[in-house]
Chains A and B, each alone.
Chain A
Amino acid sequence: MNGRENRTRLLKKQDVVLIAILLALAGCLAAWFQLRPVEECIAVVEQNGQVIRRIDLDRQTQTEELALGGPYQVKLLVEPGAISFFSSACPDKTCIRTGKLTRPGQSAVCLPARVSVRLESGGTSGFDGVTG
């Protein structure tokens, strides 16, 4: 492309190689995504209906507090394989009484603070919903 005399050619051998490598990479990735067992347990934290955090509980190695702030100063407790409401200034404390969530499908909500935590998994383990 540097001037008329030394014009870059349309297609070079390297181009084909590059494209072939990329396509192979795409194929491998697609195959990997397809075959990968989806077992992970992801905690999805939402505030006002917006996802604010996604935490992979299987990869969580230590116990930590997660302060979400807001008018009710909600704090979550994130542990390896479990998540729960640790403290909240809401009047009913239903969220704390829900206890620790450990399995995909479970959820806990603090209504006054409009914070919800649910455990998700792409696989077939767990359940689709909880009644009660």
Chain B
Amino acid sequence: MKNQKKWKIGRALAFFAVVLVLVFAGRQWYIQQRDRQPFTSTEYAMGSYVQQTVYGRMGEDAASEAANAVQRLENQISWRMEDSDIARLNAAAGTDWIAIEPQTADLLEMALHVAEQSEGAYDPTVLPVSSLWDFGGENQHLPDEEEIETYRTFVDYHNLRVDKETSEASLKIHGAALDLGGIGKGAACDTAVQAYQEAGVKAGIIAVGGSIGLYGEKPDGSLWRLAVRDPQSGDDKAEEMGLLDLASGFVSTSGSYEKNFTENGKTYHHILDPKTGYPAESGLVSVTVVSDSGALSDALSTAAFVLGEERGMSLLEHYDAGGVFIAEDGRVWVSDSLEDAFQLTSDAYTLVS
């Protein structure tokens, strides 16, 4: 009788031990599955879609934290946002110095630096002319030549002064106006990656428009694989012309196909040459830049597009950035630093070395 009872207890204990082990195994399996399954989200900010894929336990929190940070950045640097640093600077153009957020000051300084190095091919003060064209807006049209001539005189990055020490900036003349649209999407990627880092996620990728920020290593250990959009694609198929395999960094692309319109049989694209006030004609249709700063990659892609292949490449070299340039005639140049990472996948293009 006693033995029987003991045996029963033993059997019950064994039963629960088995269940316990199974629970533990199940838990491990569940965690592994969950981490393999990334969290993805799409939001809208910076006049564009923000797409995130975050791997790791805190994925969802990190993604929403990143989205909030991007929204805060937009409220701070979009000239369209009332009370943003940039809107206040534009409103005070020709008067006094304005106190701005340190983050805005950093961005302005970087913008100024790229403007100087590219000799104005990228110019953060292009707004007076770009607003005439209103690419992608309700009122996009070919402006009068005189209009462009008039407003072009306000476009000059020398009018922008930034003091990082005191976190202040000013626009020297009345009528000058800033538009950080050329670096905003890249800067948003910087902000998001910083949020991932702070949240302690395993890995994450954010795409804001054509800019991409990479953080960490994917759970399967593979490199991030990015597709470079085929400029000619669109009518029947969205295709890529090449692939970029990267461990980390930031990627931005400026392409003439992104925003454009046709008037009187001529197609006008949105990447303006600040010097002429008209769409840049450098023979390029797309410039992709890889850098360790998102804002920088964004500014450089615009600058290099305007400068053309030769001068664009040397600008990238100056900043230690890599690039993929695609010309109208199908020629493709790849910087030395990306030679191994880039892989051409379309027959319509030829690599030039």
Contact A98 B49 (CB under 8 A): no
Stretch at the interface among A55-63, A65-73, A120-128: A120-128
Judge whether A40 is part of the interface by a CB distance below 8 angstroms.
Answer: no
Judge whether B222 is part of the interface by a CB distance below 8 angstroms.
Answer: yes
Judge whether A88 is part of the interface by a CB distance below 8 angstroms.
Answer: no
Judge whether A30 is part of the interface by a CB distance below 8 angstroms.
Answer: yes
| Highest count of chain A CB atoms <10 Å: which of B49, B51, B222 | B49
Chain B at the A interface: SS class: strand
Contact A26 B44 (CB under 8 A): no
Q: For chain A residues 31-49, which have a beta carbon within 8 Å of chain B?
A: 33-34, 44, 46, 48-49
Query: How long is the Cα–Cα vector from A131 to B145 in the complex, in angstroms?
Result: 33
A111-B49, A129-B205, A129-B224 as given contacts; A122 in contact with B138, CB under 8 Å:
no
Query: Would you give the 0/1 interface string for B146-160, flagging 1 where the beta carbon is closer than 8 Å to chain A?
Result: 000000000000000
Contact A111 B53 (CB under 8 A): no
Within the complex, the shortest CB–CB distance from B241 to chain A, in Å, comes to 9
The 10 closest A-B pairs by CB, nearest first: A132-B229, A132-B253, A127-B225, A99-B238, A131-B253, A97-B234, A130-B227, A127-B227, A109-B49, A49-B43
In the complex, given contacts A92-B136, A126-B225, A129-B51, what are 11 additional A-B residue pairs having Cβ atoms less than 8 angstroms apart?
A92-B259, A114-B44, A118-B51, A124-B222, A128-B205, A128-B226, A129-B227, A130-B229, A131-B228, A131-B251, A132-B231
Residues of B bordering A, CB below 8 Å: 15, 22, 26, 29, 33, 36-37, 40-44, 47-49, 51, 53, 136, 138, 205, 207, 210-212, 218, 220, 222, 224-229, 231, 233-240, 243-244, 251-253, 255, 258-259, 286, 288
